[in-house]
Amino acid sequence: MKPMKIVLAGQPNVGKSSLINAMSNSRLKVGNFSGVTVEKAEICFEHHCHLIEMIDLPGTYSINGFSNEEQVAKNYLLNEDYDIIINVIDATHLTRNFLLTLELLNLNKKMVIALNMYDEAIKEGLSIDIDQIEAITGIPTIAVSSHTKEGIETLLVVVHEYYDNEKRIIPTINLSDTFEEELFALTKFFENKNFKYEDLSNREMAMKLLFEDEKFYAFIHDKPIFAQIQPLLLLSSEKIYTYYESENILEILNDEFYSIAKGLKIETVTSSKQKNKKTLTKKIDDILIHKIFGIPIFLFFMWLLFQLTFTLGAIPMDYIDMGFSWLSQTVGDEISHPELKSLISNGIISGVGAVVLFLPNIIILYIGITLLETTGYMSRVAFLLDGFFHKFGLHGKSFIPLVTGFGCSVPAYMATRTLKNEKDRLITLFIIGFMSCGAKLPVYVLFAGAFFSQSEAGNVLFIIYLSGAILGLFMAKLLRVIVFKGIDEPFVMEMPKYRLPTIKLVYSIVSSQAYSYLKKAGTFILAATIIIWFASNYPKTDTEDVKTQLENSYLGQFGKTSEPFFAPLGFDWKLSVALETGLAAKEVVVATLGILYNIGDDATETDDRLLNELKKQIPLPTALAFITFVMIYLPCFAASMVFAKESGGYKYLGYLFLFTTFVAWIMSFIVYNLSSLLV
């Protein structure tokens, strides 16, 4: 039996995926569309003796959008074979959603409108006349809720009936008088000539001509009728251009569709709430996105987050440190073989323990970022900073991937897909690394704890993160002026309602990130610590001096080879090696330092051994330069691979390596020399 192929099309955040799950009671199969990194979600299920294949297209504000998601959605809608479109609409934002609906109607495909989140619309005091929407558009419209499953069965029944009916419903949307006048003349021409194209009506063919549809133009251009209709078409187009004072048909249609969408809402929606009464969302917005106080409030939230990250995180850190010290001592006492003892105690336990030590800081940081995102606050900060970002050659939407970069660079790189303009996207990709990811946090906490008092450390963390972000903005401006020249796109972004996230949601997100961190510590970093231990202990020398053994080891030889490059920054071979191993994962920097500076049997289990060794062996200017280099240089291997995929090739990864290394070296050199003069 041939399946009924249905595509779900809609703007972002209208609940398409949850609607599919509600209709099928199954989990989506997620993959990628062919040839691109954009996710493809599809599912097959049976309903009323019909085999249904559903595909959830990426959310798109317009068929004519430029982002990867929008291009994928456009290509699928225009070129793939399918039976019906289910246009999913957010019932609480009809005007904006109707814009895409009007574009979809011009595809001349069978379509059903699913008015999702209808339960939320009712709670907001909205009364939507479904029959009136159908009367105006001519398209079957069903009120549904993917949350309560209200209307789901009705939607499926209507889709079945429409699929079984061979005749397509012709939309009844009326355009402005200027368009309608010209459409009438062209429609009459096709009617008199009895001209046919696929299953289009005479009016639909006339619209395709006026809307400059390339496929229809290519078809009719080679027909004898084109010579007859061309003068009429030129006259009609000229009248429209004159009326709208523009010859850009897309711009004209956008204005036309916006007027229709606005009119549709006015005709079909009434509200029981007083128009002048401020909603809770508006009252909160008056404070949080205030034109003067908005940015200081955001900076305060970020400062508070980093204060909590260090002060609260320091409490369990002490216990974790004591636990690993005890474990190292206990396990070491049970092993008689000196090499095996060194591997397990000074290599594996010391290296992995140095990474796990910072898990509390990671959890607190992720809780903070998750709360800011899930409440809807981050979208508002993006709106607030749009004008500020434009001064640095960035798009307002760049804020979301940049802030995501404070958590992890991998999802941050993927989040740049929402940027339509390719140059905006590339600039954002190139500066995400300046937003210090969670993997860099252990390095910062380690050095802040070693060189600053506990009362100062939280402020130091805030300054580090803020400095990286500010430097990233200046680098974005530099890239815009020198490399990616051009005008950035205007800012259009959904402003979601404030929502209080559930404990379950926050726990799910944070626990996933914490598990990922621990998994990395127990697998990849474990392997790295073993390799680093081996490289720092072999080949064996005749001397019993630990320092001499280290310097003559494989790791020491490698570090001394690269030391001249880092010497102007005040780095010895140990710090040089730590930076180089950090190319694999930034957590390995701490593991490397833990092995290099903790070798020896003189430390007791109650000592803050690594912090004390760093403070003893590294001058403050060197420490500041080291933090600066870590803040800027190339992200981890996994993030680098995602960058290459998202940017469009490994050549861009090569550019990123050269760009970040150069900037990191220059900035570290400046910090080292300035701080040397001041200290």
Q: What does the pLDDT look like over 156-170, one tens digit per residue?
A: 889 888 888 878 888
Q: Are the C-beta atoms of 69 and 59 separated by less than 8 Å?
A: yes
Per-residue pLDDT at 141: 93
Mean pLDDT for the stretch of residues 399-409: 79
Q: Is the pLDDT of residue 302 over 50?
A: yes
Note the Cα 445 to chain centre separation in Å.
26
Rounded Cα–Cα distance for residues 74 and 59 (Å): 11
Q: How confident is the model at residue 140 (pLDDT cuts 50, 70, 90)?
A: very high
Average the pLDDT over 309-320 and give the result.
79
Give pLDDT, residue 669.
96
Query: Does the structure show a pLDDT above 80 at 676?
Result: yes
Tens of pLDDT, residues 620-665: 999 999 999 999 998 887 788 878 888 888 899 999 999 999 999 9
CA–chain centroid gap for 425, Å, is 11
SS3 175: coil
pLDDT of residue 338: 79
**571/608 Cα distance (integer angstroms):** 22
Q: Give Cβ neighbours of residue 532 (< 8 Å, ≥ 6 apart).
A: 347, 351, 555, 581, 588, 591, 592, 595
559 by Cβ neighbours in 10 Å (0-12 / 13-18 / 19+) ranks as: buried
| Mean pLDDT of the region 237-245 | 83
The residue-averaged pLDDT of 413-423 equals 73
Determine how β-strand 110-116 pairs with β-strand 141-143: parallel
Q: What is the mean pLDDT of residues 86-91?
A: 91
Q: Estimate the crossing angle of helix 377-390 against helix 280-288, to 10 degrees.
A: 40
The full DSSP string for 69-128 is HHHHHHHHHHHS--SEEEEEEETT-HHHHHHHHHHHHTT--EEEEEEE-HHHHHHTTEEE
- The domains of the chain, with CATH numbers, are 4-164 (3.40.50.300), 177-245 (no CATH), 295-488+502-678 (no CATH)
| Cβ proximity of 360 and 312 under 8 Å | yes
pLDDT at 35: 45
pLDDT at 86: 93
| 505 token code pair | 């949601």
Residue 609 pLDDT more than 90? no
pLDDT surpasses 90 at 518? no
Residue 501 has pLDDT above 80, yes or no: no
pLDDT band at 288 (very low <50, low <70, confident <90, very high): confident
Q: What is the pLDDT of residue 568?
A: 94
The whole-number average pLDDT for the span 496-516 is: 76
Rounded mean pLDDT, 214-227: 85
Confidence at residue 487, expressed as pLDDT on a 0 to 100 scale: 59
Mean pLDDT over residues 515-529, rounded?
74
Give the pLDDT of residue 602: 36
Read off the pLDDT of residues 580-604 as tens digits, 9 standing for 90 and up.
888 877 877 887 787 777 644 333 3
SS3 state at 20: helix
Q: Is 649 exposed, middle or buried (0-12, 13-18, 19+ CB in 10 A)?
A: exposed
11 or 526, higher pLDDT = 11
Residue 377 has pLDDT above 60, yes or no: yes
269 versus 609: the higher-pLDDT residue is 269
Residue 605's pLDDT band (boundaries 50, 70, 90)?
A: very low
Is residue 439 within 8 Å of residue 636, measured between CB atoms?
Answer: yes
| Residue 68 vs residue 477, higher pLDDT | 477
- Edge-to-edge order in the sheet of strand 4-10: 29-32, 39-47, 50-56, 4-10, 84-90, 110-116, 141-143
Per-residue pLDDT, averaged over 333-362, amounts to 78
pLDDT band at 543 (very low <50, low <70, confident <90, very high): low
What's the mean pLDDT in 336-365? 78
Give strand pairing partners of 50. Answer: 47
Q: pTM score > 0.85 for this model?
A: no
- 3-state DSSP assignment of residue 610: helix
Q: What is the residue-wise DSSP string for 208-225?
A: HHHTT-HHHHHHHHTSTH
Q: Is the pLDDT of residue 563 over 50?
A: yes
Using only C-alpha atoms, the chain has a radius of gyration, in whole angstroms, of 31
Q: Which residues contact 131 (CB under 8 A, 6 or more apart)?
A: none
Mean pLDDT over each residue of the chain, to the nearest integer: 81
pLDDT score at 106: 85
CA–CA gap between residue 294 and residue 302 (Å, rounded): 13
What would the pLDDT profile of 48-79 be if each residue is shown by its tens digit?
777 888 888 888 888 876 666 777 888 888 88
C-alpha span between 564 and 575 (Å, rounded) = 12
